[in-house]
């Protein structure tokens, strides 16, 4: 029975995290950069893998868009690169011409 409650707690935390992620995404889509970044940053400790890499990418992007804080953006992108699953995120966020160069570089 104890395992059931532990599992239910994990499911509840995942649902709350997903709901908070949707709020952050709505701020991001609405170009409310500081609100989006603040929301994403509260979620980071709970995230792993590709989702964490995507959130780090979005945090970096908010720095770029909000007052051109490039140093902060670069630091966040560096953190993104170190996350397992980041390769797919990086490839999907590159502009099309950069994706081609990236694919060519992998073959060399």
CATH of the domain at 66: 1.25.40.10
Q: How many domains does the chain have?
A: 1
Which of the pair, 70 or 91, is modelled with greater confidence?
70
pLDDT at 108: 44
Rg for the chain, CA atoms, rounded? 16
User: Cα–Cα distance between 106 and 3 in angstroms, integer?
Assistant: 45
Range from 11-20, 78-87, 92-101 carrying the lowest mean pLDDT: 92-101
Which pair of tokens denotes residue 35? 């609100």
Residue 55 neighbours by CB under 8 Å, 6+ apart: 21, 24, 40, 43, 44, 47
Q: What pTM was estimated for this model as a whole?
A: 0.70
CA distances from 63 to 34, 38, 70, 72 (A): 8, 11, 7, 6
Q: What pLDDT digit, counting tens, does each position of 14-68 carry?
A: 555 778 899 999 999 999 999 999 999 999 998 998 899 999 999 999 998 988 8
Which of the pair, 73 or 9, is modelled with greater confidence?
73
Which pair of tokens denotes residue 25? 């995404």
pLDDT at residue 13 is higher than 70: no
Q: Which domain holds residue 9?
A: 2-107
């Amino acid at each position: 029975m104890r395992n059931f409650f532990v599992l239910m707690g994990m499911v509840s935390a995942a649902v709350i995290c997903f709901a908070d992620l949707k709020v952050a995404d709505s701020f991001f889509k609405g170009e409310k950069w500081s609100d989006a970044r603040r929301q994403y940053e509260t979620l980071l400790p709970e995230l792993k893998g590709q989702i964490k890499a995507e959130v780090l990418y979005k945090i970096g992007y908010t720095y770029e868009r909000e007052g051109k804080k490039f140093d902060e953006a670069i630091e966040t992108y560096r953190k993104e690169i170190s996350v397992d699953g980041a390769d797919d995120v990086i490839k999907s966020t590159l502009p099309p011409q950069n994706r081609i160069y990236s694919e060519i570089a992998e073959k060399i």
